[in-house]
Chain A
């Protein structure tokens, strides 16, 4: 029996509960036994990417403690948070118990699409979403974790789904965590270009595998007055026919 621990991430926990519920539904449908370590909080990514390594360390320690209690793999709906976990070994001196635990957990922490395609060997999760969708490739999934085709394989198996290519699909949407608030004017231009390409695709939905990009692009579409909805990949995979 496959087991997994849920790493829900701050953004998904606070803004996208449907994504987490969908993740649980899909994984349980595939026969995965899930546990949820309740002591988990933020993985420290915002602090780490701002340069505050000393402040990241206590958050990393807490995270390692929370997930280190079980040997089960960890699965998360966010590529950037998984990428952060894979940086944990750099935060602790080699040879220390924390470093060992960090290396161990970094090797068994997976982003959702990675977990499905590479750990479970599943591409068809039985979703049905009869709509025209386009896909934005998030930087951390694509270049951070090297997941270039996984989301598209999963989308390709969804009944009724028509995938429309997105112009400049692999270009950053301008979120970039703290970047979006440190340089909002640049972030806005990048987001506007992304939104323009999404609108030009003619899709009804844009599918995104990362909460940060999703909040950015969904907000951008809203401000642009577009009726196109932004959905997390998991919401589309969990859909059973109607609109998500």
Chain B
């Protein structure tokens, strides 16, 4: 769960044993976030225009990402940043490790970062003997718990304050009451010492502005600034889809991000970092490194049906409105990113053999698509990825079980040949009659039990075609036609018989 790339994501298996505390905690927090988000949105008559602008800007950036990335790298270097290109997670981990080793790093403090969760960086650093401390409160909690994040912006959203208090008592050896203020104070004491002692800070970035080579981080707790200014060495791991062309674009996205995430107009801290410190007395590290992470994104960019996934700015709003996520929590999605965006991103990063369960982890209700601030077309991407699983496409062979594919083939005549379909509507009531109890069918054998385990089934009552025919007189006309045909046939036979009889008599 923490840092390792899964080999198979068993969404259903997890959903069969969700601890009941998780949906309760998740629903409480996400409900609050979405409530404030909706209030902020209602204050902005230009919200839909902003969304449209953001969509166009993000798509434009993705379609010209090669150019903007090169510009970003040039500007980063011009600002004194050392740029490292990482094709995959292993290269990114190796780059960070090498920088740390070269500087003899012992103690690392981290800003909350989805990119470092994606590449499992903490494990690699710890395995190399370094101390790594997550300093975002939520990340601090899940690091103690030894799990990954269960929400994009609220990593410990699944835990209640009582559980966090118990965790603090157990892992930190302190008396911890189930009170958010007291718990924050305990974390703060641990963190203060660590900030001062750290010899390296690691962050991600919410955005990377290409025209100036500026890293942008959006945080609420102040820990981010501590991590990126106190230690002499700062490394930022930035996925390539974080690039924005210019500050105008950034402005549009910042207006949407905090409002969609937490319902804030702006997060408490929006930090802009352009290069390391230039002179003694200035704030900031002596050395700043940026690791640009691809890790499968170039492949996604090549796929017109999936590429708009990368427009995402990680506000987490789709999680906050998703009835599936809110009932199962983030761990069901098997990797660092969860909810609707996780359900479409993970299969594209890890492939169908690992994650073929996820494109189906949506009722296609469309709530995510309705609120997404950059208009990620969730529904069409869900269908696109389901098609990849079912039929395969240019990027991957099909990963659906053979029996499912055969069933789909068998469904074509059953649902599409009129006579067979109609025969089915007449036969099924008879087949299911033994299971019927009054107005309902309470239970059915597998695989139909997957419906009846949750609610009873309705009995088949296909009577419309007969009703329509009777009231429009069609059946009657058909009967008349049949009768006429039969009479004509009989008359024909009779005539021939008489003729034959006559001929016989004449002979």
A residues engaging B (CB < 8 A)? 8, 10, 12-17, 20-21, 24, 36, 38-42, 44, 46-55, 58-59, 62, 139, 143-144, 170-172, 174-191, 193, 215-216, 218-220, 222-223
In the complex the two chains form, what is the Cα distance from A52 to B409 in whole Å? 9
Partner of A14, one of B15, B456, B462: B462
For B323, list chain A residues within 8 Å (CB).
Answer: 171-172, 174, 190, 193
Interfacial residues of chain B within 309-356, with CB under 8 A of chain A in the complex: 323-324, 327-328
Q: Does chain A have a CB within 8 A of B479? A: no
In the complex the two chains form, what is the Cα distance from A191 to B465 in whole Å? 32
Extra inter-chain contacts (4) besides given A172-B363, A172-B365, A183-B11, CB under 8 Å: A51-B390, A174-B323, A190-B323, A215-B457
Contact B386 A51, beta carbon cutoff 8 Å? yes
For A42, list chain B residues within 8 Å (CB).
Answer: 415-416, 421
Q: What residue of chain A has the Cβ atom nearest to residue B359's Cβ?
A: A51
In the complex the two chains form, what is the Cα distance from A62 to B414 in whole Å? 13
Contact A53 B391, beta carbon cutoff 8 Å? yes
For A193, list chain B residues within 8 Å (CB).
Answer: 323, 327
Q: Does chain A have a CB within 8 A of B418? A: yes
Can you list 7 A-B pairs with a CB-CB distance of less than 8 A? Answer: A20-B464, A52-B405, A139-B367, A144-B366, A193-B323, A219-B454, A219-B458
In the complex the two chains form, what is the Cα distance from A183 to B325 in whole Å? 13
Partner of A51, one of B15, B369, B383, B428: B383
Contact A178 B360, beta carbon cutoff 8 Å? yes
Q: What residue of chain A has the Cβ atom nearest to residue B465's Cβ?
A: A38
Q: Does chain A have a CB within 8 A of B455? A: yes
Contact B416 A59, beta carbon cutoff 8 Å? yes
B428 nearest CB across to chain A (Å): 8
Instruction: Please indicate which of the listed interface residues A36, A50, A58 has the most CB atoms of chain B within 10 Å of its own CB.
Output: A50
User: Which stretch from B134-142, B181-189, B271-279, B445-453 is at the chain A interface?
Assistant: B445-453
Inter-chain residue pair count (beta carbon < 8 A): 182
Chain B 251-292 per-residue mask, 1 if CB under 8 angstroms from chain A, else 0: 000000000000000000000000000000000000000000
Q: Does chain A have a CB within 8 A of B412? A: yes
Known contacts A139-B366, A189-B23, A184 near B468 by CB under 8 Å = no
Contact B366 A180, beta carbon cutoff 8 Å? no
In the complex the two chains form, what is the Cα distance from A40 to B415 in whole Å? 10
Q: Does chain A have a CB within 8 A of B79? A: no
Chain B 461-472 per-residue mask, 1 if CB under 8 angstroms from chain A, else 0: 111110110001
Known contacts A41-B417, A184-B451, A15 near B367 by CB under 8 Å = no
Contact A49 B386, beta carbon cutoff 8 Å? yes
Contact A47 B450, beta carbon cutoff 8 Å? no
Q: Does chain A have a CB within 8 A of B387? A: yes
Q: What residue of chain B has the Cβ atom nearest to residue A179's Cβ?
A: B363
In the complex the two chains form, what is the Cα distance from A52 to B398 in whole Å? 11
Partner of A21, one of B18, B400, B464: B464
In the complex the two chains form, what is the Cα distance from A213 to B412 in whole Å? 24
Partner of B362, one of A36, A144, A176, A218: A176
For A62, list chain B residues within 8 Å (CB).
Answer: 416, 418
Contact B454 A180, beta carbon cutoff 8 Å? yes
In the complex the two chains form, what is the Cα distance from A44 to B413 in whole Å? 11
In the complex the two chains form, what is the Cα distance from A190 to B321 in whole Å? 13
Q: Does chain A have a CB within 8 A of B388? A: yes
Number of interface residues of B (CB under 8 A): 62
B335 nearest CB across to chain A (Å): 18
Contact A218 B458, beta carbon cutoff 8 Å? yes
For A15, list chain B residues within 8 Å (CB).
Answer: 458-461
Say whether chain B's binding surface is mostly helix, strand, loop, or mixed. helix
Contact B361 A47, beta carbon cutoff 8 Å? no
For B454, list chain A residues within 8 Å (CB).
Answer: 180, 184, 187-188, 191, 219-220, 223
Contact A139 B455, beta carbon cutoff 8 Å? no
For B23, list chain A residues within 8 Å (CB).
Answer: 189
Contact B366 A182, beta carbon cutoff 8 Å? no
In the complex the two chains form, what is the Cα distance from A84 to B11 in whole Å? 27
Known contacts A8-B464, A223-B455, A47 near B411 by CB under 8 Å = yes
Instruction: Please indicate which of the listed interface residues A53, A185, A189 has the most CB atoms of chain B within 10 Å of its own CB.
Output: A185
Contact A185 B16, beta carbon cutoff 8 Å? yes
In the complex the two chains form, what is the Cα distance from A136 to B128 in whole Å? 56
Contact A179 B360, beta carbon cutoff 8 Å? yes
Contact A176 B440, beta carbon cutoff 8 Å? no
Instruction: Please indicate which of the listed interface residues B386, B388, B389, B428 has the most CB atoms of chain A within 10 Å of its own CB.
Output: B386
Known contacts A15-B460, A58-B412, A186-B15, A219 near B455 by CB under 8 Å = yes
Contact B391 A52, beta carbon cutoff 8 Å? yes
Known contacts A46-B411, A184-B454, A222 near B462 by CB under 8 Å = no
B427 nearest CB across to chain A (Å): 12
Contact A186 B386, beta carbon cutoff 8 Å? no
In the complex the two chains form, what is the Cα distance from A17 to B462 in whole Å? 7
For B416, list chain A residues within 8 Å (CB).
Answer: 41-42, 44, 58-59, 62
For B440, list chain A residues within 8 Å (CB).
Answer: 219, 222
Q: Does chain A have a CB within 8 A of B197? A: no
Q: Does chain A have a CB within 8 A of B130? A: no
In the complex the two chains form, what is the Cα distance from A176 to B359 in whole Å? 13
For A38, list chain B residues within 8 Å (CB).
Answer: 418, 465
In the complex the two chains form, what is the Cα distance from A54 to B387 in whole Å? 9
Partner of B412, one of A20, A59, A170: A59
In the complex the two chains form, what is the Cα distance from A179 to B451 in whole Å? 10
For A179, list chain B residues within 8 Å (CB).
Answer: 360, 362-364
In the complex the two chains form, what is the Cα distance from A144 to B154 in whole Å? 30
Contact B15 A139, beta carbon cutoff 8 Å? no
Known contacts A51-B386, A53-B391, A215-B458, A186 near B412 by CB under 8 Å = no
A62 nearest CB across to chain B (Å): 5
Known contacts A42-B416, A139-B365, A219 near B386 by CB under 8 Å = no
For A36, list chain B residues within 8 Å (CB).
Answer: 468, 472
B395 nearest CB across to chain A (Å): 14
Partner of A176, one of B365, B408, B412, B461: B365
For A50, list chain B residues within 8 Å (CB).
Answer: 386, 390, 408
In the complex the two chains form, what is the Cα distance from A27 to B467 in whole Å? 16
